[in-house]
């Protein structure tokens, strides 16, 4: 993205995902003329300032989100889904013409976002944490937003990885498939490390093995035109070691475990669409 194209950016909500996106954009060198973040706490803002960002907090300035939104051309909303009623009306009231809002919130539908913001220039994007290293995957629902503004958003997320246009049902599905998906891969790495410890390796070497396997398999997948199934077949010698090990996964029906997990995540994404408040009283 060129200097002329890069928009002034505001990010409302400065948690895990917001910082992932900022890291990816910094890494790919997007020349934003200004970046302002808004967190709840002053402590978080201080952390971000140490990274060279203009960081506001609601604790220090109750109007922080409105002032950040007023000065931006792209406003990313990255608070928790159940915070939208508190956060969006003030953002919407401050928006200048020609500004687009990007919601990365799981579940919350465009109709509700438009109502709370009072604008149609809002899109939903569902990114994932590998965006940190520009190996992300994001679904985007453009809705009825201005096409040239949507183009800027699409380009911004293309800096972070692959971008797929979907409808809102597709985005709910991607929330668990590609949004949560990296967590499934990390879970596998954790379990592989635990198996290595079970077979006698110390924790350091066990994690070293698991990391090398996941990183190596990912790199091979990225570099190869072969399907995942074909890459797996090449490791699986007839009546060999892999065959015996994979049979355990098949016997326990790993396929339906993954489908059940995806369905549970999808159900939660749909629930979040209408969740009025944080059901467990925590923001983590
Ligand atoms: N994590 C992920 O991989 C993905 C997350 N998402 C979505 O991204 C959103 C954020 O998730 P995540 O980053 O994990 O959550 P975090 O809890 O890490 O971040 C939430 C942020 O919101 C801030 N905040 C709370 N209240 C306010 C307020 N009133 N005004 C402004 N900021 C406020 C918090 O401030 P403080 O830091 O000071 O507490 C915090 O920085 C969620 O809606 C989630 O569905 C989507 C795809 C992937
Ligand atoms: O767990 C969550 O709700 C968010 C959405 C997808 C990944 N993290």
Round to whole Å and give the CA distance between 20 and 157. 12
- Domain boundaries defined on the chain: 9-166, 176-273
CA of 129 to the centre of ligand 2 (A): 10
Task: Dig out the tokens for 168 from the structure.
Answer: 């809102």
Please report which ligand is nearest the Cα atom of 80: 1
Does the beta carbon of 182 lie inside 6 Å of ligand 1?
no
Return the DSSP state at 281.
Answer: S
- pLDDT category, 278, cuts 50, 70, 90? low
> What gap in Å lies between CA 242 and CA 238, rounded to an integer?
9
Q: Is the pLDDT of residue 164 over 50?
A: yes
Distance 154 CA to ligand 2 centre (A): 21
Task: Report ipTM for this prediction.
Answer: 0.98
Mean pLDDT of the chain: 94
pLDDT tens by residue, 169-213: 999 999 999 999 999 999 999 999 999 999 999 999 999 999 999
Cα 269 to averaged position of ligand 1 atoms, centre (Å): 15
- Please tell me the predicted confidence (pLDDT) of residue 276: 55
Measured distance CA(157)–CA(136) in Å, rounded? 9
- C-alpha span between 254 and 250 (Å, rounded): 6
For tokens 């800096």, the residue is: 159
What pLDDT sits at residue 2? 83
Q: Tell me the per-residue pLDDT of 236-273, one tens digit each, with 9 for 90 and over.
A: 998 899 999 999 999 999 999 999 999 999 999 988 87
pLDDT band at 282 (very low <50, low <70, confident <90, very high): very low
Domain 176-273 falls under CATH 3.30.365.10: no
Question: Is 39 known to sit in a ligand binding site?
Answer: yes
Q: Tell me the C-alpha distance between 188 and 194, whole Å.
A: 10
* pLDDT tens digits for range 10-54: 999 999 999 999 999 999 999 999 999 999 999 999 999 988 899
Mean pLDDT value across residues 227-240: 94
The strand pairing partners of 141, in sequence order, are 124
- Considering the four listed CATH numbers 3.40.50.620, 3.40.50.720, 3.40.50.360, 1.10.10.10, the one that applies to the domain covering 9-166 is 3.40.50.720
- Nearest residue (by CA) to ligand 2, atom 1, is 180
Measured from the CB, is residue 16 less than 6 Å from ligand 1? yes
Two domains, one topology: 9-166 and 176-273: no
User: 203-223 and 181-198 are packed helices; what angle lies between their axes, rounded to 10 degrees?
Assistant: 140
Atom of ligand 2 minimally distant from the CA of 183: 7
Q: Which residues contact 166 (CB under 8 A, 6 or more apart)?
A: 139, 140, 141, 173, 174
Residue 29: per-residue pLDDT:
95
Q: What is the pLDDT of residue 277?
A: 52
């Amino acid at each position: 993205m060129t200097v002329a194209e890069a928009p002034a950016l505001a990010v409302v909500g400065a948690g895990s995902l917001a910082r992932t996106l900022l890291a990816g954009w910094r890494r790919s060198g997007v020349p934003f003329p200004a970046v302002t973040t808004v967190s709840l706490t002053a402590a978080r803002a201080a952390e971000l300032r140490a990274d060279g960002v203009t960081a506001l907090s609601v604790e220090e300035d109750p109007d922080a989100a409105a002032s950040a939104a007023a000065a931006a051309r792209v406003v990313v909303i990255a608070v928790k889904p159940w915070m939208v009623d508190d956060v969006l009306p003030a953002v919407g009231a401050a928006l200048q013409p020609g500004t687009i809002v990007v919601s990365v919130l799981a579940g919350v539908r465009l109709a509700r976002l438009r109502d709370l913001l009072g604008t149609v220039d809002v899109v939903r994007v569902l990114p994932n944490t590998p965006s940190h290293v520009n190996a992300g995957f994001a679904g985007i629902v453009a809705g009825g937003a201005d096409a040239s503004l949507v183009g800027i958003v699409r380009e911004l997320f293309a800096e972070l990885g692959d971008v797929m246009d979907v409808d809102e049902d597709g985005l709910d599905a991607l929330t668990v498939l590609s949004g949560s998906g990296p967590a499934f891969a990390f879970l596998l790495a954790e379990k592989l490390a635990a198996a290595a410890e079970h077979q006698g390796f110390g924790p350091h070497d066990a994690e070293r093995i698991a990391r090398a396997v996941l990183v190596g398999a990912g790199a091979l997948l990225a570099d190869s035109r072969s399907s995942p199934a074909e890459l797996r077949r090449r490791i699986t010698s007839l009546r060999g070691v892999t065959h015996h090990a994979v049979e355990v996964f098949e016997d326990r029906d790993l396929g339906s475990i993954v489908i059940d997990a995806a369905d549970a995540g999808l159900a939660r994404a749909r629930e979040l669409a209408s969740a009025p408040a944080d059901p467990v009283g925590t923001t983590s």
